[in-house]
């Protein structure tokens, strides 16, 4: 068989990867918990920005960036927290 005559693989291991992508999208969408939870996180982010970021992404890079921004100024901390909640 030449290189131009590549046969598609058959069987369970050779199936399309499409189902894995769909499953991943469904899992990611179910992680969000819907708009009411985002609204609650935004309210918490306005009152205490690092807590809002922590509730959304946990302790990671975005959390520490938000701590720094909140120390430097309360408004930049709020803007960053709302951005993190909207993005993730």
pLDDT tens column, 13-67: 555 554 444 444 444 454 556 788 889 999 999 999 999 999 999 999 999 999 9
The answer to whether residue 75 sits within a structural domain is yes
Q: Is the pLDDT of residue 2 over 90?
A: no
Identify each DSSP E strand in the chain by its residue range.
Answer: none
pLDDT for position 35: 81
Domains in the chain, number: 1
Q: Sorting pLDDT into bands at 50, 70 and 90, what band is 70?
A: very high
The answer to whether residue 67 sits within a structural domain is yes
pLDDT for position 3: 55
The answer to whether residue 12 sits within a structural domain is no
Cβ–Cβ < 8 Å for 77, 46: no
Domain boundaries, position 60: 33-87
The answer to whether residue 27 sits within a structural domain is no
The answer to whether residue 64 sits within a structural domain is yes
The answer to whether residue 45 sits within a structural domain is yes
pTM above 0.75, yes or no: no
What is the C-alpha separation between 41 and 38, in angstroms, rounded? Answer: 5
Q: Is the pLDDT of residue 74 over 60?
A: yes
The answer to whether residue 9 sits within a structural domain is no
């Amino acid at each position: 068989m030449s290189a131009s005559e590549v046969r598609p693989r058959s069987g369970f291991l050779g199936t399309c990867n499409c189902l894995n992508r769909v499953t991943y999208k469904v899992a990611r969408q179910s992680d969000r918990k819907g708009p009411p939870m985002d609204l609650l996180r935004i309210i918490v982010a306005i009152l205490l920005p690092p807590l809002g970021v922590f509730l959304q992404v946990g302790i990671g890079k975005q959390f520490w960036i938000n701590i720094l921004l909140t120390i430097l100024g309360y408004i930049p901390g709020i803007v960053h927290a709302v951005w993190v909640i909207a993005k993730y």
